[in-house]
Structure 1
Amino acid sequence: MLPKAYEPQEVEQKLADKWQKAKLFAAHVDPAKKPFVIVIPPPNITGALHMGHASTNTLQDVLIRAHRMFGENAYWVPGTDHGGIATQNVIEKKLAKEEHKSRHDLGREAFVQTVWDWYNECGNAIFNQFRKMGWSLDLSDIRFTMDEKRAKAVYECFRQWWDKKYIYRGKRLINWCVRCSTALSDIEVEHEQHAGKLWYLRYKGEDGSDGIVIATTRPETIYADAAIAVNPKDERYKNMVGKKVIIPLANRAIPIIADEAVELGFGTGALKITPAHDATDYEVGQRHNLPIMTVINDKGKMINCPEKYLGMDRELCRKETVKDLDAAGLLVKEEKYNNAVSTCYRCHSAIEPFMSEQWFVKMDKLAQPAIEAAESGALQFHPANWKNPFLNWLKNIQDWCISRQIWWGHRIPVWYCRHCSEKGLTFATDQQGREQLTKVSFEDGAQPIVSYEKPEKCPVCGGHDLVQDPDVLDTWFSSALWPISVFGWPEKTPEMDYFYPTSVMVTGYEILYLWVARMVMTGLDFTGKLPFKDVYLNGIVRDKHGQKMSKSKGNVIDPLDMTAKYGTDAVRFSLLMQAVPSKDIPYSEDSITGARNFCNKLYNASRFILMNMEGIQGPLAMPKEVTELADKWILDRFAHAIKTAREGIEKYNLALTANTLYHFLWGDFCDWYVELAKQRFQTQEKEKVMALCVNILYNTLKALHPLIPYITEEIASSLRPYVAAEGGEFLLQQAYPEFDPALCDKEAVRKMEIIQGVTREIRTIRAQFNVPPALKISAVLTAKDEADLAVVKEYEGYIKLMAKVQKLDIGVNLAKPKQTATAVFENIAIYVPLTGLIDFEKEKKRLEKDLAAAKANIASREARLAQENFIKHAPKEQIEKTKNELAAAKVALAQVTASLEDLA
């Protein structure tokens, strides 16, 4: 028998231990079984589990558990990512706080060892967190993107691409994070709306004329200007193209050029062109062969500018430049301007476009097979509307900057002979006197030697003084190999032959390009096969206002805090209920409360059924034939719930599965069937009814198990003696329920819909007039045609029981009693006499107050929506909320008006 109250923490610890001990989550090569494989998006070893992990990994866990119950060899491959920039930032902050040291104080070797020590400490902690969430990972076999096997895969990828001439080193305008002191690829850059300013500056003509006025958001870069550009179609400036103007404060002449990149409607229609500090300007500069001058260095400090500004931080220089332009009479005006600022995806500092020599991968040849796979349908997206963005990105793909100027990560597997590469190498000595290679230039003669380990000697001169490239590879380089490296690639392993390609990739849509596209390209390039045929994209977990969760905003919800408070199943189910593919989840603690209430409903209903099993010996088989309407109806509803639940899993829409089972269990089974069945518990039909109850409940537990594993396992262990369960001790070892069309009965469903519709209308009347729940009432059901009343006459007992009606009159064209509340369902009029049930005067006053409140709400919302400023400037969410409130107030007005008419 189940205890009176469900204690999640106690049950979860017990079952988590049992599952791991029974090795339920292990998978081995088994040619007799079809594999179903997911590789986990490896979490960074920064140690903190967040709601994004909770959402994505719960989706994967549901799929893995379900497909194991489908009879497949389900394998969810566990692992973690070294998370280059993110982890280095964490360790640097930790060092500064605890030891008041920087990584440079430790030196490269000692710092890297410090991060390894961190990994050894926190790696297990991450998977202990996963274990608490009930995720079915085999924790005896964990991968890490920096372990030996994965490191060799990274080297082999680099070597093959180098040999194919896909990898090259070149000087280009790249995204540079001043805070992290490293390059970033285009898709590691986020674009955030900032409230800034637009400054209008005058560039006087070289000939002494007033020249031209331009608009810019970055006046600190004027010292690197190479030209002023106007659109060739702009009639205002046609006569000025080819003339020269003077850069304010720099006193250097630059030409006015014509280029279609200039937007006619922006600012004055004239733009400063600064090739070294803007990607678009760089392209314009290449077209017009403009000189490139850098005025902001890798530390965000000013260089190559008037002496006053030398060494200034870029932000301070902006302020000082504006001040001096104003003093010189060259600042025409300034205005507020909201613009998208490029920021680092890790630290959110403003990105600085920066001319730098870096390592790149040519992407055009790698992208083509991925394009063909998506266009042919071999690669499927869920939802399908992500296919076109995926293709658009691949068709416009830029070469991938793969080098990072940090210490934690896969070191570039390239070595240089100091003798042969002397002019191309720059060394520096730190405060401890340690020499380190700080800069490499192929332009100046650096000669690369590609090797995983340090070569014994230089292949050219035979020298032994060899040093390794100081950069590390982009974190996403090793992540791109994840679906093949986890199975031992480049070795030909049995696991690679059996488990690859994997089945589906489940991840957030925000890393579709960062990660998914790169896995597709590398998988196709090295194996000729897609790494997965399906991509299931989930949304971002946001707060209830739609804001992205952030510690700085204080709106972060820690999933482990919530599991401790509400239970793991409640947290999982609350996420699944909202997990519509690729749609963001506006998450709040309220949603967990609703999911917890569902778990409690399931537990209490199960306990109630078990309490009524006294005197019955199991196992009980599902009855082969039923005659009672309620029995026929619940079997139909059960069959369709199972069908839809399975479809949700198979079609990667787990919100559909969760919501279907929620409504079936709570609404159809608990609120209707069990309530109707109670009256038969004391009759000769008890065993038949209980057989239906326990079998439907047990199979519903199996359907729910992938979603809420703990509570379903706990209840199932108590129900198992009463059902003919096949399989092992645990639900995961049993078959997922199948759809049985023989259980469907459209006629039973039609009849029950009439009974339910009439019952709900009577319940609504009771609620509207505050009739006490326990009070038995009278009701009249009438229609113009006898046929319309046939069902309610046959099953009036159902209506009396479920609506708490003592006297029910049913007949054709019955008169409406006085002081009666009225409702209509299909062709049936429903009258509920109110005399003796309520205080009419008191009720009338209450309704009149509700009427006034509804009218006031309508007037208030209509007035707000009529305000031009509100519609123009309010957030979309606020406008939509106001519209919804107006609609709800109008519904309330109609209901209250109808109730007052009934009282009259």
Structure 2
Amino acid sequence: TASMQEFFKAFPKAYEPKEVEEKWYRFWEEGGYFKASAGSKKEPYAIVIPPPNVTGVLHMGHALVTTLQDILIRWKRMCGFETVWVPGTDHAGIATQTVVERHLMKTLGKRRSDFTREEFLGHVWKWKEESETQILNQIRKVGCSCDWSRLSFTMDQPRSRAVRTMFKKMFDAGLIYRGDYLVNWDPVTQTALADDEIEYEERESALYYIRYPIVGTDQHLTVATVRPETLLGDTAVAVSPQDLRYQSLIGKQITIPVVNRQVPIIGDTSIDPEFGTGVVKITPAHDPNDYEMAQRHNLPMINIMTPDGCINENGAEFQGLPMEEARKAVVEKLKSLGLLEKVEKYTNRVGLSYRSKAVIEPYLSKQWFVKLSHFKNKLIDLVQSKKVKLIPDSFESTYFHWIYHLRDWCISRQIWWGHRIPIWYNTEDPSQMVCYAEEGIPPEVAQNPTLWEQDTDVLDTWFSSALWPFAVFGWPEKPPDLEKFYPTSCLVTGHDILFFWVARMIVMGDYAFDKPPFSDVFLHGLIFDSRWEKMSKSKGNIIDPLEIIASYGTDAMRMALSSATTHARQIDLDRRRFEEFKNFANKIWNGARFVFMNLEGLEVKDGIDMDILKLEDRWILSKLNRIIQEVNASLYEYAFDKATKAAYDFFWKEFCAYYVEMVKPVLFGKLGTAEEKSNKQKILLVVLCNAVRLLHPMAPFITEELFQLLKPFAGGFPQDPYTKETVEALQAPACIVAPYPKVIRELDIDSAIEDEFAAVDGLVHAVRNIRAEMQIPPGVTTALYIVGSEKQLQFVQKHETILKALVRLETLQLMTTEKPLTFASTAVVGDLKLIIPLPLEMRERERTRLTKERDKLIEQQNTTRIQLGNRDFLAKAPPLLIDKLKTNLDQAEKELYLIGQKLEN
């Protein structure tokens, strides 16, 4: 008794997250609870973290994806799997280089070009170290149980070797090639981008109708274009061979305005005679469709753009002008030559860089590509056969649409930060190339270094990220980790990188191992605010996870995120969710505190006496088993919102609001025997211990704190399945490795018991509704009359103690005939009628209120009568006002009559 009293003196009345979070995270990490062993005989469960970019601090999207992964890892760890969750970060080539360049300009006033490549990369590495430290600390703050001993970075030595090895493997197999190709060019970052790195938006533009003179005639063809400046690179004009207007012109020459270059008129079946004028200018170096046409007709290609988006030497007098300015200058020149027929307003889709937001320019350059067409059928088959399951499966149609329109993947980037392409060219004969996978330089290059030069480009960030699920386990070596944990079990990521990352990981994993890198892909929605706007820094609606943790606690943030994660494409994250789950954390704490305060003297070794269970006991055990079943099933289906809601509702409603209230009379000695009290104490212990473990994946800190406080009850050897399961669970050193609740006894999931309790609950709800309508304060007791048949009243009498425990009743009277009652409110539940008279003290208050209301109405009546009796007022007042006053007088008379009746009652 003395020790229990000391225990409760030290037990805070409110939950303080800051007091427990750092303590338990340090306990878990130092205790090695996050580490996985490749030598374990347990079934593996592996997740690799989507590596955050080392560009700065994390945002709420990162908090969401790490929370969801941690829920799965903690759940599977408690279910007995050998779980590994590999953390790491991504070098994020273009994004990081852009951020560092801005930083250097702001702090030193220098551009990248002011440094050597090595000097600049030194600045980027320094940035990476600082940013990564911040990011990893934030991931820890979210409570993530990552195996930090396996921390990886996409440009660390093992991952770099994996990148070089994969490049050489694909290069030697002819799956990576280099060639002149029209790429999506970002003139700001001055690098090529893949098709799916382009964002499109509708913009108001203009359609320019330009006259192209036909050589040897005084005729012309009119071409409509939105990009008149590109005529500087035209190498043909195309018409449809079926277009009767132009059939006779095919094969003749036409003059390109401004530059006066003669080019052929060609016929191509891709031209639609109905579209525009039926004549199309062909600029192969600056339009993807024109590029393909040039391949068919063997047309020359003239590049008119510099890497920074200006007109080059092929633009003659326009050289040096940015593309937008060149457009204006070319249009003015056409006007002066009389070759601009007309200009119309036009709306078109403009491609923008997803990083710099610069307008994308088609640009002819030498690039490196992966032949994705080689993998097309495999990408389709793996998802169709469910060897890779996309969850929710509504994303399959999006996935297949992308696969069916697959193009080769441009993997070279013209930046400095990244994996440099492991190719060396012979400076005397560039067609001679050496691909080298090891660190350093190839032996033939070392023998004659002046004769060789390494490619200056780096690989697309997504190339190294695509190797992540196996590179983190040591590939291309074959360590035990790779054998144990590859393929991984699940990938959790945002649906917006389904093609950037997910599909490419499937390509690389299946190519390296002939099996995909994961079996399940859960694609979560993107976070939107309460106004249904996507969160972004530019909109200023970002929610900082660390701010939320400081204000509400980590558990509250995690539960709010989990509860908001449906299978929808958007996540509505209102700040009120954080407040709601902060309150829930306090409810967990207070519910547990009540249980601890009422376990004094408990001997668990005797176990629960299943023969003396009451309805409320059987009901809570049925609900416990059912909720364990529901939460496990929901987590299995990645229904995070359902799992969180089920656990939330069970603890708050069934356990705290109902069962705890129902057992109080027995615990406090007002009802029942010593055996019944002991039974209820054990059930409280059982339910609390299971609820704590059930909630642990979602709310790890508060549950670990409570689990450790429950551990003193791990003694004894009870025989009943409930207390036995609880005692065995509490023998675990920590909640993080305690067994996750499983259905203890399926036969106790009893629909009949739950239906019987629901019938009692229906009466409770009815009484509570009446009290709310009558505005009866929670602390005021009332009388309750229930009218019904003998059989129905017997049911009420059987469960009278439950009814009295859940609603504040002064008296309960059961009647087969209704007794006339004044000043009472009623409700009907089935064939039962419930009547609650207004309590005596409230009647006096109501009498006072009604008297004041009556006096006020009488005063209003007198004022109105005086007005209506005044001849001058009646002569001047509008008829509508007089009618309104008369109506008010009649209404007041009716209200006075009703008040008089109420006062008489």
Q: Is the structural similarity TM-score above 0.5? A: yes
What is the SS of the residue equivalent to 1:503? strand
What is the SS of the residue equivalent to 2:394? helix
**Native 8 Å contact 1:198 1:335 kept in 2:** yes
Shift of 1:228: 6.8
**Aligned partner (choices 442, 454, 470) of residue 455 of structure 1:** 442
**Aligned partner (choices 191, 207, 226) of residue 199 of structure 1:** 207
What is the SS of the residue equivalent to 1:533? strand
Q: Counterpart in 2 of 1:167? A: 176
Measure the CA separation in 1 of the matches of 2:812 and 2:271.
Answer: 78
**Native 8 Å contact 2:368 2:412 kept in 1:** yes
Measure the CA separation in 2 of the matches of 1:341 and 1:446.
Answer: 39
Which stretch of structure 1 is more off in the superposition, 20-29 or 792-801? 792-801
Superposition pairs of residues 453-492 of structure 1, within 5 angstroms: 453-457=440-444, 464-492=450-478
What is the SS of the residue equivalent to 2:150? coil
Q: Counterpart in 2 of 1:151? A: 160
Letter in 2 for 1:20: E
CA 1:174/1:716 → structure 2, altered by over 3 Å: closer, same or farther?
Answer: same
Letter in 2 for 1:547: E
**Aligned partner (choices 357, 377, 380) of residue 366 of structure 2:** 357
Measure the CA separation in 1 of the matches of 2:278 and 2:800.
Answer: 78
Q: Counterpart in 2 of 1:294? A: 303
- 1:739 aligned onto 2:743: yes
- 1:571 aligned onto 2:571: no
Measure the CA separation in 2 of the matches of 1:768 and 1:259.
Answer: 77
Q: Counterpart in 2 of 1:718? A: 709
In our comparison, the structure showing a higher alpha carbon Rg is 2
Measure the CA separation in 1 of the matches of 2:254 and 2:847.
Answer: 86
What is the SS of the residue equivalent to 2:619? helix
CA 1:770/1:155 → structure 2, altered by over 3 Å: closer, same or farther?
Answer: same
Measure the CA separation in 2 of the matches of 1:257 and 1:779.
Answer: 93
Shift of 1:473: 0.9
Q: Counterpart in 1 of 2:863? A: none
Letter in 2 for 1:776: T
Measure the CA separation in 2 of the matches of 1:820 and 1:247.
Answer: 95
Q: Counterpart in 2 of 1:239? A: 245
Measure the CA separation in 2 of the matches of 1:844 and 1:215.
Answer: 84
Q: Counterpart in 2 of 1:868? A: none
**Aligned partner (choices 764, 767, 775) of residue 770 of structure 1:** 775
User: Unmatched 5+ residue regions in structure 1?
Assistant: 422-444, 847-899
Q: Counterpart in 1 of 2:700? A: 709
Q: Counterpart in 1 of 2:858? A: none
Superposition pairs of residues 179-190 of structure 1, within 5 angstroms: 179-190=188-199
Superposition pairs of residues 791-802 of structure 1, within 5 angstroms: 791-802=795-806
Superposition pairs of residues 633-782 of structure 1, within 5 angstroms: 633-683=619-669, 684=674, 685-723=676-714, 724-726=727-729, 727-740=731-744, 741-779=746-784, 781=786
Superposition pairs of residues 34-45 of structure 1, within 5 angstroms: 34-45=43-54
Shift of 1:139: 1.9
Letter in 1 for 2:245: N
Superposition pairs of residues 850-869 of structure 1, within 5 angstroms: none
- 1:104 aligned onto 2:91: no
What is the SS of the residue equivalent to 1:140? helix
CA 1:412/1:722 → structure 2, altered by over 3 Å: closer, same or farther?
Answer: same
**Native 8 Å contact 1:215 1:268 kept in 2:** no
CA deviation string 1:691-739 (max 9, x = no partner): 1112101111111111110011112222222352434321012111111
**Native 8 Å contact 1:203 1:246 kept in 2:** no
CA 1:215/1:404 → structure 2, altered by over 3 Å: closer, same or farther?
Answer: closer
CA 1:815/1:122 → structure 2, altered by over 3 Å: closer, same or farther?
Answer: same
CA 1:603/1:357 → structure 2, altered by over 3 Å: closer, same or farther?
Answer: same
CA 1:754/1:247 → structure 2, altered by over 3 Å: closer, same or farther?
Answer: farther
- 1:537 aligned onto 2:523: yes
**Aligned partner (choices 495, 504, 511) of residue 509 of structure 1:** 495
CA deviation string 1:207-227 (max 9, x = no partner): 7679657463x4544544566
CA deviation string 1:651-708 (max 9, x = no partner): 2222221111011111111111112222221123332212111210111111111111
Q: TM-score, normalised by structure 1?
A: 0.82
Measure the CA separation in 1 of the matches of 2:219 and 2:847.
Answer: 88
Letter in 2 for 1:697: L
What is the SS of the residue equivalent to 1:557? coil
Shift of 1:121: 3.4
- 1:587 aligned onto 2:573: yes
Which stretch of structure 1 is more off in the superposition, 70-79 or 520-529? 520-529
CA deviation string 1:630-651 (max 9, x = no partner): 1111111111111111112222
**Native 8 Å contact 1:294 1:304 kept in 2:** no
Aligned length: 818
What is the SS of the residue equivalent to 1:239? coil
**Native 8 Å contact 2:525 2:570 kept in 1:** yes
CA 1:305/1:116 → structure 2, altered by over 3 Å: closer, same or farther?
Answer: closer
**Native 8 Å contact 2:168 2:435 kept in 1:** no
What is the SS of the residue equivalent to 2:693? helix
Shift of 1:200: 5.3
CA deviation string 1:516-573 (max 9, x = no partner): 1111121121112222111122122222223222212111111111111111111111
Superposition pairs of residues 318-467 of structure 1, within 5 angstroms: 318=327, 330=340, 332=342, 334-335=344-345, 337=347, 339-421=348-430, 445=431, 447-450=433-436, 452=438, 453-457=440-444, 464-467=450-453
CA 1:629/1:448 → structure 2, altered by over 3 Å: closer, same or farther?
Answer: same
CA 1:827/1:225 → structure 2, altered by over 3 Å: closer, same or farther?
Answer: farther
User: Unmatched 5+ residue regions in structure 2?
Assistant: 1-7, 715-726, 854-898
Fraction of identical pairs, as percent: 38
Q: Counterpart in 1 of 2:146? A: 137
Measure the CA separation in 1 of the matches of 2:199 and 2:847.
Answer: 63
**Aligned partner (choices 493, 504, 510) of residue 524 of structure 1:** 510
Shift of 1:325: 6.9
What is the SS of the residue equivalent to 1:63? helix
**Aligned partner (choices 588, 596, 614) of residue 610 of structure 1:** 596
Measure the CA separation in 2 of the matches of 1:577 and 1:845.
Answer: 49
CA 1:144/1:626 → structure 2, altered by over 3 Å: closer, same or farther?
Answer: farther
Q: TM-score, normalised by structure 2?
A: 0.82
**Native 8 Å contact 1:751 1:791 kept in 2:** no
CA deviation string 1:244-286 (max 9, x = no partner): 988776677875967557596x878876654433334444555
CA 1:81/1:623 → structure 2, altered by over 3 Å: closer, same or farther?
Answer: farther
CA deviation string 1:414-446 (max 9, x = no partner): 11232333xxxxxxxxxxxxxxxxxxxxxxx46
Shift of 1:834: 6.0
**Native 8 Å contact 2:602 2:682 kept in 1:** no
Q: Counterpart in 1 of 2:38? A: 29
Letter in 2 for 1:731: C
Q: Counterpart in 2 of 1:73? A: 82
Letter in 1 for 2:286: H
Superposition pairs of residues 37-56 of structure 1, within 5 angstroms: 37-56=46-65
What is the SS of the residue equivalent to 2:149? coil
What is the SS of the residue equivalent to 2:663? helix
CA deviation string 1:44-71 (max 9, x = no partner): 2223111121111111111111111111
Which stretch of structure 1 is more off in the superposition, 729-738 or 27-36? 27-36
CA deviation string 1:380-428 (max 9, x = no partner): 222122234333433432111111111111111111232333xxxxxxx
Shift of 1:292: 3.9
Shift of 1:770: 3.4
**Native 8 Å contact 1:250 1:305 kept in 2:** no
Measure the CA separation in 2 of the matches of 1:88 and 1:166.
Answer: 28
CA deviation string 1:307-364 (max 9, x = no partner): 5643222233445566777886947454473x54322222332222211110111112
**Native 8 Å contact 1:416 1:449 kept in 2:** no
